[in-house]
């Protein structure tokens, strides 16, 4: 092979590299219409604050100071995207807590007592993500206000408790306000974030922490008080 | 070339026409995949029914349907139970009925068979094959009746007599629960069923067993003896004890010193504790466990153990005791279902909206 032929081959290769580079598509953002959120945290219902209990603490006596582990999933739909983002969200959670039932003398019984809740929440939210997208500040504060309905039931052994003819199950209405801040993960791996968008349609990913003030007691009605003040942590994915 | 071919064709067609006999068995006594019918001692005298259908030609004598402890494929011996002897003119279908008792009796009828075993004297497992044997066609052209017998029956059903009852189990532990007792039974063999029976221990003012229990002064006793008037039910366990069905063999007879109905709970072995529920707190119950093996044999009862369920308090008990006003129930749940349905509809609406670019 002559040196002239080798030279032509190298030249052709060099010409081909820019051509290949020109084949790479310029990343584009997919439409952003909503979000999916997964969160978890401790949930300690304010059962012992019910006035009728006159200071008695049945929750603390049964479970001590421990909280329920509450996990939630939420889907959001964006209706406004301008200076920040606003929309509606619908979330469903589940939490449970087990402890030994007590004998009359206060000692532990063989049966397990449990409290289980299934909070459902419809909320309106606003998050200030303008600074994150416009100026690259990766923190997104947000707030939510919503309506809560929380089915609950208490079991002893394998059955729902029945005391004095009252079955230990029902549901409570209430409201909840939440404030939190999200950390935009895209800033850590921008290229990965773009791939995530182009491959799966996930525009942005966040880790967040939020504080919820929930009054779930049938808006001040009598009976079980499932209100709480809690911190939750989780992952949010805009799509 | 043409002539040998024609001759071969003629011989072949003759051979095809001469088909040896076959017998197809069927029974409802077992499933289509498990061909072994396990018979407990209690059912030793119960006959099992098989239908048979034969096809093909019987040559040189008879086709025998019989049951034997030996392999199929021979002419039945004197120790086998001969069920049918078929000739070429016999029916092509029929039924045979036989019990383990008949099979055992047949084994002892020959000179070398020894004394005939009975359902009571047979102490070990023994299996009998259901067979059909006949002479087959053979020879150079496939038309000669062979002298030797061959097995022509299918499928190979086996009737297995299992007279050995399981060893008596032990009650290793009783966990006292609210209105229930959780019983740990040890000693159950694989594929067996654990049975736990519970009955109230008779108090000093009540008679044990089935006599005068109905006349107890239930009104002066606690809740546990309020049911004393139903001791007639317990009395029927006497009958259960005498039947051969394998169930109810313990009951009031075994649970001595008890009164009231016997609660019986069964559970497959290896699936954890047997939990007897629906008991009255504060009342002492006498427990006994038995094992029923795969054949249906029932073990002797375990040693009896007494235990008393005790009330325990869950969160709702504590809440109500403290004066909590929650009544729970369907009303709240019903409202929740309606509310939940609305929220679910909204959720579906939210998620089903088309993306806006």
* Interface check B176 vs A, CB under 8 A: yes
What pLDDT does residue B217 have? 35
What pLDDT does residue B191 have? 85
* DSSP designation for B228: G
pLDDT, tens only, A19-73: 444 444 445 677 889 999 999 999 999 999 999 999 999 999 999 999 999 999 9
Share of chain A above pLDDT 70, in %: 88
Token pair for B317: 């008990």
* Interface check B272 vs A, CB under 8 A: no
**CA neighbor of B102 nearest in space, from B83, B76, B85, B125:** B83
What pLDDT does residue B88 have? 83
Domains of chain A: which residue ranges?
Answer: 34-238
Which residue in chain B has the smallest CA separation from A35? B351
pLDDT band of residue B265 (cuts 50, 70, 90) is: very high
A53 interaction partners in chain B (CB closer than 8 Å): 319, 322-324
Most confident range, picked from A25-34, A136-145, B229-238:
A136-145
CB B72 within 8 Å of CB B148: no
Q: Where are the alpha helices (H) located in B173-306, listed in sequence order?
A: 231-235, 237-242
Residue B56 CB partners (closer than 8 Å, separation 6+): B19, B20, B21, B22, B152
CB contacts < 8 A (A, B): 158
What pLDDT does residue B30 have? 75
Best to test chain A binding among B272, B311, B313, B314 (most A CBs inside 10 Å): B314
**Mean pLDDT score, B289-303:** 90
* Interface check B31 vs A, CB under 8 A: no
What pLDDT does residue B218 have? 32
**Mean pLDDT score, A85-112:** 93
Q: Which of B315, B329, B333 sits opposite A151 (nearest CB)?
A: B333
pLDDT band of residue A99 (cuts 50, 70, 90) is: very high
Q: Which residue matches tokens 């999916």?
A: A36
**CA neighbor of B323 nearest in space, from A88, A164, A167:** A164
CB B265 within 8 Å of CB B175: no
pLDDT band of residue B238 (cuts 50, 70, 90) is: very low
Question: Which domains does chain B show, CATH number per domain?
Answer: 2-162 (2.60.40), 170-307 (2.60.40.10)
Q: For domain A34-238, give the CATH number.
A: 2.40.160.20
What pLDDT does residue B190 have? 86
Mean pLDDT of chain B: 76
Interface confidence (ipTM) of the complex: 0.83
**Mean pLDDT score, B85-98:** 90
Min Cα distance B337 → chain A (Å) is 9
Cα first-last separation, chain B:
86
Q: Indicate whether B143 pLDDT > 50.
A: yes
**Mean pLDDT score, B285-299:** 91
**Mean pLDDT score, B147-155:** 89
What pLDDT does residue B110 have? 56
Q: How far apart are CA B344 and CA A42, in angstroms?
A: 25
Q: How far apart are CA A96 and CA A151, in angstroms?
A: 12
CB B281 within 8 Å of CB B201: no
3-state secondary structure A60-111: HHHHCCCCEEEEEEEEEEEEEEECEEEEEEEEEEEEEEEEEEECCCCCEEEE
- Of the listed ranges A177-186, B76-85, B145-154, B211-220, the least confidently predicted one is B211-220
pLDDT, tens only, A200-214: 888 899 999 999 999
Q: How far apart are CA B62 and CA B240, in angstroms?
A: 47
Token pair for A44: 């300690």
Which residue in chain B has the smallest CA separation from A104? B312
pLDDT, tens only, B179-224: 899 999 999 888 899 999 999 887 654 443 333 333 333 333 333 3
Mean pLDDT of chain A: 88
Q: Which of B177, B311, B321 sits opposite A110 (nearest CB)?
A: B177
What pLDDT does residue A3 have? 53
* DSSP designation for B187: -
B347 interaction partners in chain A (CB closer than 8 Å): 75, 90
Which residue in chain B has the smallest CA separation from A116? B315
What pLDDT does residue A207 have? 96
Share of chain B above pLDDT 70, in %: 69
Cβ pair B346:A88 closer than 8 A:
yes
Cβ pair B315:A63 closer than 8 A:
yes
B350 interaction partners in chain A (CB closer than 8 Å): 34, 75-77, 88, 90
What pLDDT does residue B147 have? 82
Q: How far apart are CA A193 and CA A33, in angstroms?
A: 17
């Amino acid at each position: 092979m002559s040196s002239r032929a080798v030279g032509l081959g190298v030249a052709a290769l060099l010409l081909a590299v820019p051509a290949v580079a020109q084949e790479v598509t310029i990343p584009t953002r997919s439409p952003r219409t909503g979000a999916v959120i997964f969160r978890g945290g401790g949930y300690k219902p304010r059962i012992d604050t019910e006035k009728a209990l006159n200071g008695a603490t049945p929750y603390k006596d049964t479970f001590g100071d421990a909280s329920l582990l509450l996990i939630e999933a939420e889907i959001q739909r964006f209706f406004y995207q301008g200076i920040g983002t606003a929309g509606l969200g619908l979330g469903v959670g589940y939490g449970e807590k087990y402890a030994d039932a007590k004998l009359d003398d206060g000692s532990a019984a063989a049966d397990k007592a449990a409290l289980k809740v299934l909070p459902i929440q419809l909320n309106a939210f606003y998050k200030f993500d303008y600074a994150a997208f416009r100026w690259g500040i990766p923190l997104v504060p947000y707030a939510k206000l919503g309506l809560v309905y929380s089915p609950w039931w208490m079991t002893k052994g394998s059955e729902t408790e029945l005391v004095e003819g009252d079955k230990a199950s029902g549901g409570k209405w209430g409201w909840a306000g939440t404030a939190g801040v999200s950390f935009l993960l895209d800033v850590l791996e921008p290229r990965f974030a773009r791939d995530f968008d182009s491959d799966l349609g996930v525009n942005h990913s966040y880790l967040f922490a939020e504080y919820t003030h929930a009054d779930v007691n049938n808006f001040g009605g009598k009976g079980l008080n499932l209100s709480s003040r809690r911190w939750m942590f989780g992952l949010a994915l805009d799509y | 070339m043409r002539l040998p071919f024609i001759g071969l064709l003629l011989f072949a067609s003759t051979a095809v026409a001469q088909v040896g006999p076959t017998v197809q068995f069927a029974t409802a006594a077992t499933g289509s995949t498990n061909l072994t019918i396990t018979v407990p001692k209690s059912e030793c005298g119960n006959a099992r029914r098989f239908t048979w259908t034969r096809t093909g030609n019987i040559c040189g004598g008879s086709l025998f349907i019989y049951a034997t402890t030996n392999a199929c494929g021979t002419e039945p011996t004197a120790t086998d139970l001969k069920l049918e002897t078929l000739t070429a003119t016999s029916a092509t279908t029929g039924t045979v009925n036989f019990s383990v008792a008949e099979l055992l009796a047949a084994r002892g009828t020959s000179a070398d068979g020894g004394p005939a075993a009975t359902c009571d004297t047979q102490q070990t497992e023994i299996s009998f094959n259901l067979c059909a044997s006949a002479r087959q066609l053979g020879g150079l052209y496939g038309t000669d009746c062979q002298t030797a017998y061959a097995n022509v029956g299918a499928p190979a059903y086996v009737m297995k007599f299992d007279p050995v009852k399981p060893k008596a189990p032990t009650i290793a532990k009783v966990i006292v629960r609210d209105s229930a007792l959780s019983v740990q039974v040890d000693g159950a063999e694989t594929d067996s069923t654990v049975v736990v029976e519970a009955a109230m221990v008779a108090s000093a003012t009540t008679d044990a067993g089935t006599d005068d229990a109905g006349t107890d002064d239930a009104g002066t006793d606690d809740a546990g003896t309020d049911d004393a008037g139903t001791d007639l039910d317990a009395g029927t366990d006497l009958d259960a004890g005498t039947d051969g069905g394998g169930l109810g063999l313990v009951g009031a007879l075994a649970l001595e010193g008890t009164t009231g109905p016997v609660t019986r709970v069964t559970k497959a072995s290896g699936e954890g504790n047997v939990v007897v529920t629906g008991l009255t707190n504060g009342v002492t119950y006498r427990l006994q466990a038995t094992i029923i093996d795969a054949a249906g044999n029932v073990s002797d009862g375990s040693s009896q153990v007494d235990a008393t369920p005790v009330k325990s308090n869950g969160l709702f008990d504590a809440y109500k005791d403290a004066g909590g006003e929650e009544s729970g129930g369907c009303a709240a749940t019903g409202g929740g279902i309606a509310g939940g349905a609305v929220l679910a509809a909204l959720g579906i609406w939210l998620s089903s909206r088309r993306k806006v670019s």
